[in-house]
Structure formats: C-alpha cells, structure tokens
Chains A and B, each alone.
Chain A
Amino acid sequence: MTQLSPAPTRRNFLRGAGLAVGLPMLESLLPRSAQAAGGTPPVRMAFVFFPNGAIMPAWKPKEAGSEYAMPDTLAALKKFRESLTVVTGLAQDNGRAKGDGPGDHARCASTYLTGEHPYKTAGADIRVGISVDQVAADRIGNRTKLPSLELGIEAGRNAGNCDSGYSCAYSANISWKSESTPMAKEVNPRLAFERLFGSGEKENRADSLAHRQFYRQSILDMVAQDAKALSGKLGSTDQRKLDEYFTSVRELEQRIERDEQSVANRPKMNLPQRTPKDRQQHIRLMYDIMTLAFQTDATRVATFMLGNAGSNRTYPMVGVNDGHHQLSHHRNDEKKMNKIQRIDHFLAEQFAYFLDKLNSVEELNGSLLDNSMIVYGSGLSDGNRHDHADLPIVVAGKAGGTLATGQHLDLGRETPLNNLFMSMLDRVGANVDKLGDSSGRLTQIDA
C-alpha cells in the first residue's frame, strides 16, 4: 500500500553531485582531463584477496618463463595469458608468528598489503602498517573522485573472537589507511555503486547544487574546528581517535570540492536493493563496479576481499557444502583437496570474468586491462600448513605496456611481496623508498 504522506524522498537531500544521463557501457567513459595528459590513460591498480590459501600444485605452473603450461586452477585465465604474469616465490614474512603464536589467518590478511607484523591484540592498540593501496591513494588519490575503493563479499564478523586473540579488524580488512585505521569495505553492490555515482534520484526543486555544497562545506568546517577544540582536552589515545575523525572530515571536504569540479557521467546499472544471496552474482557485480570505477576514472586504486581471512563459507554452486576454512586443513586428504581446488577454480573463473570486462573497455592505447595491474592472490599459500611463503599471486594487465607479461616468474621462495608492490607504486606515480619489509623493487617484471 502506498502511503499518502508528503514525506520527502530521503536520499536526495544534498545528494551526490552530477547525476547526468547514463551512457552506454563499454564506450570510453574516461573524462577528457584524464586522457589529455600526453594522450595516455592513467594506470589503475587493484588488489584482490581470497582467503585460506590454495591447493598449490594445481596453482603453480611447473615451468618458468613464457612457455609454461597453464595450471588447472588458472585454466579460466588462459584467454588472457598474454596479459598475465604468474609470480611465484613471493612471501609475506611478517605473517609468520614471530613469537605471537597462532592466528595465521588474521595475520595473513593484515600483512597481505602492508608487509608489516600486526600487533597481537583483541582490542586495545590495534596496529599494523599502511597498505600499498593507501600509499597510492595518499599520493594520487586527489586526481580522482574517490582516492580509493574498498570492496568485499563478507561483512566483518559479528561476534566472538575472529582468530586466536586477534581483533576482527585484522581478519576483515586488507586496506589500512594508517597503522591503526583499517579502511572498512563496502559489501553491498548498490551502496558501492551509489558511493561512486550517486543514487540517481531526482534532486529536489529548490535544493540547488550550489546551496547544498555550501551547506556541506560550512558544516564540515564547523565540525572540524569543533574536533580540534575537543581534541585539546583529551588524553593521547582519545586524540588519536579524534585525528581519525579529523582526517576523514578533511577527505570528505576534498571529495566535495572534486565533485563540484567534475560532472561525472552516471552509468546505468541494475542493482538489487540488498546484497545478493547468489555468491557468483555478488562477486560479479562487485567486479562490474570496479570496472566502472576504473572506466570512468572515479578512482584508480581498489581492493576487493572475496572473503574474510579464515572464512568458513560454503560454495554449494560448485558442490562444496563444507566450510572453506575447515576444508583448507585437509591433511592431504584427496577428497578435501579436491573440494578446495573447486573453490580455487570457481574464484579464478570469477576473476576471469573481471578480466573479460576490463578487456572489453577500449581506451586510447588499448584496453582498460592493458592500462591496469590487478593483483589476484592470497596471504597464504598452503592453507593446511598456514604457509606464508611462495604465495599464489597473479598480476593481470600490462600497466600501460610497462610489464613483461605472458610469463611465469619463479622467484624461489622468500622474495618480499612488497617488492612487487614497490614496482607497482612506481607505475602509478606514487613511488616510495620503502614499504613494509620491502628489500627493493621487482625488476624482473619490467618490460
């Protein structure tokens, strides 16, 4: 029954700017400004994480170099062979216990993109390090509507302990803005989309954009001052919390400014109101949104968690009705390994879907995939033994032709994963001297 009350629509007050007409997909939606500089589109980076490691014999190519046979698990990626670099022999050493005892899953997620050792705590003093995506967002994020995009499939865990005395913040986030602030992820595709492109509802008559932005700026100005004044009266831990607030307010102010400047195109997309129950649909919608975000240059940096660390979800669509984590401790039982491999395979297929999408977007000098570098991997290799070395890592895309793709790069066992990240940061114009436990750059991937 429709209620006849003059209730205003809720979402449209002061809502996201620029709700222009939808453009057909697959056309270049890249704003001119982004393409103009020397005619080259920007390089985008994304990091996809899957939980619980993989069945490595079915993941790791047997041969190194360009003549390798595509392993079973990655079969779905065959089509993109020439755009891929399979990198093995990378490690996240700081995921190891180092005297902290159990909790490898929490550690594997929190070190995945940071390369730092997380401080073991259930509550107070959460601390790990800044993740590679946030280093990039900090340096190049001001060029796009959103500095970075954080997506996920599983919301943070609701209750109890996550992993052996580690706060759930460690296992539910891979992106860390500061050493103590995880970047919460969006798990609802519709909300992720609206965050990028607005809700698309009509604006109210008198609620002009100018007024709206003016009020927002005044409000944020005022509360930022308020936070500063308040902070002076608090203890040092409380001050750190207020700093988080202050930083977030400042980012929001900058975003509003950028919104004002850019008249973004709002792509069309049919999205369910709630998070879809069908996992494949859910994952694909998230990949669609990442594609759109890159395509429209709404952001150049994204992270995506296919599950939280230690996730115990089932995958009934491929006949796996046991929990993922439970199965990952397979003790070399063939039946269980086979089930894990089916999960690995399913997730790789979804990743292939993403690459397909990226590949279908034309840009000036090739496809969107050619201008991207997407890391697909896990913070554990063998989930059964909680192995933090020889991680399953694929880099997809050519980063604008700067990557030597089409090969399997076998680096042995203990090269820091962060060396790869260092090389990636160079390619988006966010070079740093050191990141976590990096010991240099990964020159073997240079074209």
Chain B
Amino acid sequence: MQAIRESIQNRRSRHIPIVTAFLIGTVAWLCLVASTCTARGDDTVDFQRDVEPLVNKYCADCHGESEPEAGLSLVGFTDVDSLRAKSKHWESVMKMLRGGLMPPDDSLQPTVAERRKMAASIEALLFHVDCRLESDPGRVTIRRLNRNEYNNTVRDLLKVDLRPADEFPADDVGNGFDNIGDVLSLPPLLMEKYLLAAEALAIEAIEAPETVTAPKVRRSAKELTVKGSAANRGGQVQMISTANATAEFDIQRPGEYTLRVHAGGDQAGPDPARAEVLLGDKRLKVLDVFATRDRTRDYELPVTLAKGKINVTVKFINDYYNTDADDPKLRGDRNLLLDWIEIEGPAEIRPEDRPASHRHLLIARPDKEKSVRDAAFECLRPLVRRAFRREVSDAEVAPFVKLVESATAKDESFERGMQVATVGLLVSPQFLFRVERDPDPNDPAQTHELSQYELACRLSYFIWSSMPDDRLFDLAAEGKLQDEEVLLRETRRMVQDPRADELSNNFAGQWLNLRNLDNVSPDPEQFKPFDDQLRRDMKRETLLFFNAVMRENRSVLDFVEGDFTFVSQRLAKHYDMGEADQIPGDEFQRVTLEGKRKVGVLGHASILTLTSNPTRTSPVKRGKWIMDNILGTPPPEPPPNIPELEATQEASPDATLREQLELHRSTPSCAVCHTQMDALGFGLENFDAIGRWRDKEGGKPVDAAGELPGGAKFATPTELGKVLAGKREQICRNLAEKMMTYALGRGLQYFDRCAVDLIVARMEQNDYRFNELVEGIVLSDPFRKRRGERTQP
C-alpha cells in the first residue's frame, strides 16, 4: 500500500497543475456528443492500445525521434508515467487535435472519430485520478480582498458604511469569477486607493479632535419657508410687514449649539427693527437688529438642542410705515432683511453620542492610571485580531501601538493615534490578503487541515463575502469548527442570515452573467421600453429568485423549471401580466407562474436580454449560455475563419433567422456544435431581445420547436425547461463546479473531480436541494484542507 501511495505521489509531483474547469467541462461535453466517452476515474484507457497506434500513424512522421518538428517528439512514450512526465507537451497535442490545427492540411488526416478518441484518451491519461485513494485538496493562492469583500469587511470590522472600494479599479475576472487569487493583482494604483480609503475610514470610524470640526449648517434665504408680507429677492428674505421665515434642521447629536441669524434692516421710526427668534413655538429671544441694509451681520445666541428635527423661526414683529409724520425723522419704512439662519455645534460631544464605530473601537482611554501604551493595547488587541482574522500575539499588536504613540508623542490626541493605527491596519498585507499558512509551504505532499480561523474565513467569505462574525470567531477559538456537525449548523445559520444575500449578488451575479446586464444596450429604436429602471428590475428579479431557492432550500432544478418569480409593477407590465396594477410602486411581489413563462431563470428578462444582440435575439448566444452556465458543457470555440451567418444570409435574403441558421448548419464542421446550441436557443425564440413574449417574429409565427442530439424534443419554452430539468446530473455537476470555484477562489483542477462527485451524489440523494450543494462544498476536502505548493519544474 505504501508503495502505491508513493508511486501516486510521484506521479502527481511530476504533473503540472494547470488544468482548469474548462477541461473538466470539455470531458463532459465530449460525453454528451460523442460515443468515445471516457469513463471517469476508471482504467479503460490504455496508452499503448488507444493512443500510440494513432500517434504513429498520423504524427510520428514529423514528430519522430530525430530532429522532430517544433522540437516535439511524440515517440518513445510507453505508459502513463512517461506521458505525465511530459504533460505540457501532451496537453498541447490534445489542444492541437481538438482545434483541428494538427496534423497540417497536407498530411494524412485522422477521421473525426479518431481525432476525438486521441484527444479524449490523452486527456484521460494525463488527468486520471483515482478517488479511492487519498484525495488532493489542492492549494489556493493567497487572495487579496476583492471590491465587494473589502466593502463588506470594513463595514463589519469598523461598523461604518462608506463603501470606499466602489472607487477601486475593477477586479479582473478569472474562471468566471472575480475572487480568484491567481488573477487578483495589486498594482500601485490600487495601493494608493487602499491608503486613501484607509484614511477616510479611520476618520469616519474614530472621532479625534484634530479631525472633527463642529460643523456649521446654514439655511440660505432660498431654503427658508416664508410666510406673510415678505419676498425672496437677491438671496435675501425681505420682510416688509409682519412676516416670518422658518428653517428646518435635523439634529443628530444633542448638545450646546450656537444659533446665528444674519440680518439687517431698513431702519425707520424710533426703534430698531426687531426680530423674534423661536425654536418651534418657544420664544428664545427678541433681537434688536441695528444693522442696516448695506451691512447685515450675525446675531448669535446659545441654544440647547435635542436630537431630531427642529424649526427655527425668525419673525419680524415691529413693522413701521409713516410717510406723513410731522417730524421728518419719524418718516420712513422699516423692514427686516434676513440673509440666512445657521447653527453650529455641538460644542462638546458626550461619550454616548459618539458614533457606534467610535464606541466600539475606543474601549479604553489613557488616564492617570493608564498609560497611552496600555490603553492602546487594550483597544488594539481585539481590533488587530479581527482585522487579521486570527489570534494575534502582543508582539504583533506592538507595531500598531507604536503608531498610536507616535501621534501622542507629537502632542496629538489618543484618538488621533488610534486613527493612525487603524490606517496601518487597513493597509497591512495581513488585512488585505486572506492568508492561509502551511507547515511546509513548498511540499506538495504535505496535506493538512486548515486552521480553525482559516476555515472560519473560508465560510464567511464564501457565504457572506465578508469577515467572520463573533460567533464564528468564538467557535474557532474553541476549536470546534472542523467538527462536521458544527460546520453544518453554522452553514445553515449563515445561509439564513441577511448577509447571505451576497452569495446571490456575487455568486449568482457572475454565474448567470447577470452583471453583464449593466453593459448591454438594446437598440433604443426597436426596444423603447428598455431603460435603466427596467434593467435594474430585471436583475433584481433573478437575484430574488436565487435568494428564494437558497433560503427556502428548494431544488436547483427550479432554475430551469421554477413556477414562480418576483416582479415589480414595471416588470409585470413588461411581461404583460394581468395583475400588474396590483403591485405597489417599486416593490417586488412573488407571483406564481402559469403556462408559458414557467421556465425558471430562462424566462427572466435579465437572462434573455443579456444573451441577445442589441438589435435582435441570438439563439446561438442563448444556446451557448445554457450550455456554459446551466449544463456546464461549453461548446468548443469555433475554428478560425468559418463563414458567419451573413454569408448564408446573402444566399437567401428572405430566410428567417431559423432558416438561415439551418443553412449555416449544413456545413459539417459547424453542425457538430450548432446542432445543439441552436436548438436550445430556438426553444426560447418566443422571448424577444428584451424578454417580452411574442408569438410572431417578422410577421411569421415563432417556431420554438427543437430536438437535441439524443432525440429529446420540445415545442415551447416550457417544454425546453422540462427537457433541461431532465439533465439533472449535468445541472448539479455544473452548479457544483461553478460554486466550488467561487467558494475556493481558484479554478478547479482535474483532481477536484472527486470532491465534485461527492457533492453531486449528495444532491441526487436529497431531491437536488440547494443546501446540499452549499453543505457539500463546505464539507469537501478542497474546502477544509490544503497542501504545500508544487513548484514548477
């Protein structure tokens, strides 16, 4: 046994792990369309029987022993081990065969079946894995937080809601997702943004006297509510007779404020212009406004304000008008002129009025008994632990304490010092990266369980796109997280938590390509109803649907045959639903679907729009979307320079799209893929390019009938949904692969098939329920374990 293990290990260590989910998908695809299906994980493929004769026949003339073309010799291989020793070469051979690039045109050509057999056999030999032996959990590259994760993490860490990452550069996508460690890079631009964001966050979270100025809020004349004989002229309220002007303020913090009235008067008569100042109904003071029209000025009064909305009213109370008094001094017109009303404060903030973030982070202050150093340690120990998402020693906290001291040494406040330390934390690599450690990082044979905290992070970033909460931290500290029961219980709790909406936003948003909806622009002439509101509603529908499948633990087959959805009034009208008017405003309502739209997400306007061209539907894109995202069998890329649709259109300009595509498929090289792709897409032709139902297209009745390779027939979208729902294993496998990629933050490799098999089996045993998918991933080896790195030869 030991010997077998070793030989397996050796084999593995020689293989270069660059195979991605794409290849896994390709195997599945081959199984779908070709008879030369390689059974998974068995030993039915034999190099000497299945590969060598074909290589000798078609390749060896040029790629022989002496001076082979491109330096690539394909002779002298005897078995799997020798093949794997040159895995890069053989992978390239496989790609060349699949792409039809080799052998060159002027050489003897293998038949289509031979070509497929060679490629599939090489693949099976290179990437064969026996799941009965100890599994390889793979290794995840260190991941920096992506934009969503950053926003969520700082929110949960500091209890502020700034979303600074919205201004970070877009995270590059790899393997279909934007959380892949290998692809997430850190250019200088991003580092700059990290620093600025950290500074902004620190100021927002912690109030220091150096960075807080009691703000003034001014209501200019235009913003005042004016009553009585008064007019708003030249940015001034001019009160010519009894009149008043009211300003509204929203007080967040109770305390002592300064109230300022900036005013002047047209002076006349024996008295100065008088203004009564009221807070609500209560008179605060009567001001003698001696200032003149040309020299208006501030009149100040202190005022104590409670939290909430308040009204401040300035009332002109001594109007005077006399043109015929005997004494010329008494002739004149008295008016009150008001420029603005302003409040400033509060002068001092009581501890309990500090923002939650401040109270949460500043749990100690230096005083007579406590040094800055001690207070800083007290505040920073829990903060550094949470920021690094693991236990930390005092030695690790010390550099941050030093930052606090560097501020107080400059006679700045302790709070200011805490801000600086927080900036340091937020740009630290241990915060920005999700670090997972290995006892021996460069030994690929060294497979081990993740630490408790690392596992807590995998869970929280998978389901919440954020850091672990206190409960997960506690369980990690108690060492309970690797316990399967605890793991399952926590997973279920987390899925029900509102934060799990992020799984929908980030996983479903990418799995279903929903985010690409932001970039589509249907032809405004043809599709007048399409606007940004509709675009948002479309997306929301699908996210809500995903949420429902997740939270209600429904069958994942609902994605292709679900009989319910969520619509806003706008969307209901778009779908021509009878009850549209009953849906209030912007709210979404759950509706049960009957008849023609009962096809899960395939009937969602979001999916239908993002798989269309700006001017028309694209059955090819829709078919490809289903194969890529629902069935997990992406069609191979087209060979270069194949005739596109238009060539056939020239031949028969009056043909419908379907007729054109049928002509197109008459070429055998196209038919291979398009037969299935087009049939799937045509099944949805009753939906136009922005997802509205139609019975006719271009005056001709829509024909949504189709037949898949293997004979499954359908005539309507609903029937197509049923046919797809019949492909249960494929749907489950695809979802498991996609979600596992997302959960791990790496592309899947050939050895991950074992874990995926287990998840699929789990789903099949339990009615394809969503929870089985999530739980299966959480319990899998790749999720709970890792190994050292296999350095490239």
A158 touches B178 (CB 8 A): yes
Cα A165 to Cα B215 in complex, Å, equals 54
For residue B92, which residues in chain A have a CB less than 8 angstroms away from its CB? Answer: 99
Given A218-B406, A222-B424, also A252-B199 (CB < 8 A): no
For residue A160, which residues in chain B have a CB less than 8 angstroms away from its CB? Answer: 173, 176, 510, 513, 516, 628
User: Could you tell me the distance in whole angstroms from the C-beta of B429 to the nearest C-beta in chain A?
Assistant: 5
Q: Which residue on chain B has the smallest CB distance to residue A205? A: B213
For residue A323, which residues in chain B have a CB less than 8 angstroms away from its CB? Answer: 613-614
Q: Is B455 an interface residue (CB 8 A)?
A: no
A215 touches B343 (CB 8 A): no
B509 touches A156 (CB 8 A): no
Q: Which residue on chain A has the smallest CB distance to residue B424? A: A219
Q: Which residue on chain B has the smallest CB distance to residue A182? A: B185
A219 touches B427 (CB 8 A): yes
For residue B614, which residues in chain A have a CB less than 8 angstroms away from its CB? Answer: 314, 321-323, 326
Q: Is A32 an interface residue (CB 8 A)?
A: no
B183 interface neighbour in A15, A169, A177, A236, Cβ under 8 Å:
A169
A186 touches B96 (CB 8 A): no
Give the size of the chain B interface in residues (CB under 8 angstroms): 118
Q: Is B202 an interface residue (CB 8 A)?
A: yes
Contact residues, B399-454 vs A (CB, 8 A)? 399, 402-403, 406-407, 410, 412, 419-420, 423-424, 427-430, 432-433, 435, 437-438, 441-442
Cα A219 to Cα B202 in complex, Å, equals 13
User: Could you tell me the distance in whole angstroms from the C-beta of B526 to the nearest C-beta in chain A?
Assistant: 8
Cα A154 to Cα B640 in complex, Å, equals 27
**Contact code string B565-593 (vs A, CB < 8 Å = 1, else 0):** 00000000000000000000000000000
Q: Which residue on chain A has the smallest CB distance to residue B209? A: A206
A8 touches B204 (CB 8 A): yes
Interface residues on A, range: 35 or more
Q: Is B232 an interface residue (CB 8 A)?
A: no
Q: Is A235 an interface residue (CB 8 A)?
A: yes
For residue B623, which residues in chain A have a CB less than 8 angstroms away from its CB? Answer: none
Contact residues, A149-201 vs B (CB, 8 A)? 150, 154-162, 164-165, 167-169, 172-173, 177, 180-188, 191, 195
Q: Is B7 an interface residue (CB 8 A)?
A: no
Given A158-B518, A314-B614, also A10-B424 (CB < 8 A): no
B169 touches A235 (CB 8 A): no
Given A99-B96, A158-B173, also A241-B199 (CB < 8 A): no
A223 interface neighbour in B412, B428, B515, Cβ under 8 Å:
B428
For residue B176, which residues in chain A have a CB less than 8 angstroms away from its CB? Answer: 122, 159-161
A4 touches B343 (CB 8 A): yes
A158 touches B641 (CB 8 A): no
B182 interface neighbour in A97, A125, A322, Cβ under 8 Å:
A125
A123 touches B432 (CB 8 A): no
User: Could you tell me the distance in whole angstroms from the C-beta of A163 to the nearest C-beta in chain B?
Assistant: 9
B95 interface neighbour in A101, A126, A216, Cβ under 8 Å:
A101
Given A4-B217, A10-B204, A123-B747, also A167-B424 (CB < 8 A): no
For residue B209, which residues in chain A have a CB less than 8 angstroms away from its CB? Answer: 206
A207 touches B211 (CB 8 A): yes
User: Could you tell me the distance in whole angstroms from the C-beta of B639 to the nearest C-beta in chain A?
Assistant: 8
B646 interface neighbour in A102, A122, A182, A330, Cβ under 8 Å:
A330
Given A168-B174, A207-B210, also A157-B516 (CB < 8 A): yes
Q: Is A270 an interface residue (CB 8 A)?
A: no
Given A172-B172, A184-B170, also A219-B141 (CB < 8 A): no
A316 touches B173 (CB 8 A): no
B640 touches A252 (CB 8 A): no
Cα A265 to Cα B15 in complex, Å, equals 57
A183 touches B189 (CB 8 A): yes
Cα A63 to Cα B420 in complex, Å, equals 64
User: Could you tell me the distance in whole angstroms from the C-beta of A412 to the nearest C-beta in chain B?
Assistant: 23
Contact residues, A308-345 vs B (CB, 8 A)? 312-314, 316, 321-323, 326, 329-331, 333, 336
Q: Is B181 an interface residue (CB 8 A)?
A: yes
Contact residues, B130-162 vs A (CB, 8 A)? 139, 141-142, 144, 162
Binds B, one of A225-233, A283-291, A346-354, A401-409: A225-233
B172 touches A316 (CB 8 A): no
A159 interface neighbour in B142, B432, B509, B650, Cβ under 8 Å:
B509
Q: Which residue on chain A has the smallest CB distance to residue B182? A: A124
Q: Is B294 an interface residue (CB 8 A)?
A: no
B647 touches A238 (CB 8 A): no
B170 interface neighbour in A156, A177, A236, Cβ under 8 Å:
A156
Contact residues, A250-305 vs B (CB, 8 A)? 251-252, 255
A102 touches B637 (CB 8 A): yes
Cα A316 to Cα B524 in complex, Å, equals 9
User: Could you tell me the distance in whole angstroms from the C-beta of A239 to the nearest C-beta in chain B?
Assistant: 9
Report the number of A-B residue pairs with Cβ-Cβ less than 8 Å: 331
B516 touches A223 (CB 8 A): no
For residue B212, which residues in chain A have a CB less than 8 angstroms away from its CB? Answer: 6, 8
Q: Which residue on chain A has the smallest CB distance to residue B511? A: A159
Q: Is A204 an interface residue (CB 8 A)?
A: yes
B144 touches A248 (CB 8 A): no
Q: Is A413 an interface residue (CB 8 A)?
A: no
User: Could you tell me the distance in whole angstroms from the C-beta of A20 to the nearest C-beta in chain B?
Assistant: 20
For residue B419, which residues in chain A have a CB less than 8 angstroms away from its CB? Answer: 13
Q: Is B615 an interface residue (CB 8 A)?
A: yes
Cα A331 to Cα B650 in complex, Å, equals 10
Q: Is B252 an interface residue (CB 8 A)?
A: yes
Q: Is A1 an interface residue (CB 8 A)?
A: yes
For residue B195, which residues in chain A have a CB less than 8 angstroms away from its CB? Answer: 14, 216, 219-220, 252
A8 touches B250 (CB 8 A): no
B189 interface neighbour in A4, A5, A195, A336, Cβ under 8 Å:
A195
For residue A14, which residues in chain B have a CB less than 8 angstroms away from its CB? Answer: 195-196, 199, 423
User: Could you tell me the distance in whole angstroms from the C-beta of A7 to the nearest C-beta in chain B?
Assistant: 7
**Contact code string B174-210 (vs A, CB < 8 Å = 1, else 0):** 1111101111011111111001100110111001011
Q: Which residue on chain A has the smallest CB distance to residue B189? A: A184
A248 touches B399 (CB 8 A): no
Contact residues, A83-128 vs B (CB, 8 A)? 97, 99-103, 121-126
Q: Is B523 an interface residue (CB 8 A)?
A: yes
A168 touches B190 (CB 8 A): no
B175 touches A236 (CB 8 A): no
Q: Is B667 an interface residue (CB 8 A)?
A: no
Q: Which residue on chain A has the smallest CB distance to residue B648? A: A331
Q: Is B521 an interface residue (CB 8 A)?
A: yes
For residue A102, which residues in chain B have a CB less than 8 angstroms away from its CB? Answer: 637-638, 640
Residue from A186, A216, A219, A236 whose CB has the most chain B CB atoms within 10 Å: A219
Q: Is A211 an interface residue (CB 8 A)?
A: yes
B521 touches A167 (CB 8 A): no
Cα A15 to Cα B435 in complex, Å, equals 30
A219 touches B420 (CB 8 A): yes
Q: Which residue on chain A has the smallest CB distance to residue B307? A: A4
Q: Is A78 an interface residue (CB 8 A)?
A: no
User: Could you tell me the distance in whole angstroms from the C-beta of B528 to the nearest C-beta in chain A?
Assistant: 12
User: Could you tell me the distance in whole angstroms from the C-beta of B340 to the nearest C-beta in chain A?
Assistant: 13
For residue A158, which residues in chain B have a CB less than 8 angstroms away from its CB? Answer: 170, 173, 178, 509-510, 515-516, 518-519
User: Could you tell me the distance in whole angstroms from the C-beta of A301 to the nearest C-beta in chain B?
Assistant: 13
A252 touches B191 (CB 8 A): yes
A244 touches B524 (CB 8 A): no
Cα A312 to Cα B343 in complex, Å, equals 53
Q: Which residue on chain B has the smallest CB distance to residue A183? A: B187
Q: Is B253 an interface residue (CB 8 A)?
A: yes
Cα A347 to Cα B54 in complex, Å, equals 52
B747 touches A222 (CB 8 A): no
Besides A14-B423, A219-B195, 13 more A-B contacts (Cβ < 8 Å) are A8-B203, A10-B200, A160-B176, A182-B187, A184-B169, A184-B189, A186-B169, A215-B403, A219-B420, A226-B428, A321-B521, A326-B614, A331-B644
Q: Can you show 12 pairs from A to B with CB atoms below 8 A apart?
A: A6-B253, A10-B204, A102-B638, A122-B21, A123-B183, A124-B746, A124-B747, A226-B429, A237-B141, A237-B182, A241-B181, A313-B519
The 10 closest A-B pairs by CB, nearest first: A184-B169, A158-B515, A156-B170, A235-B789, A248-B191, A123-B174, A235-B441, A5-B252, A159-B510, A102-B637
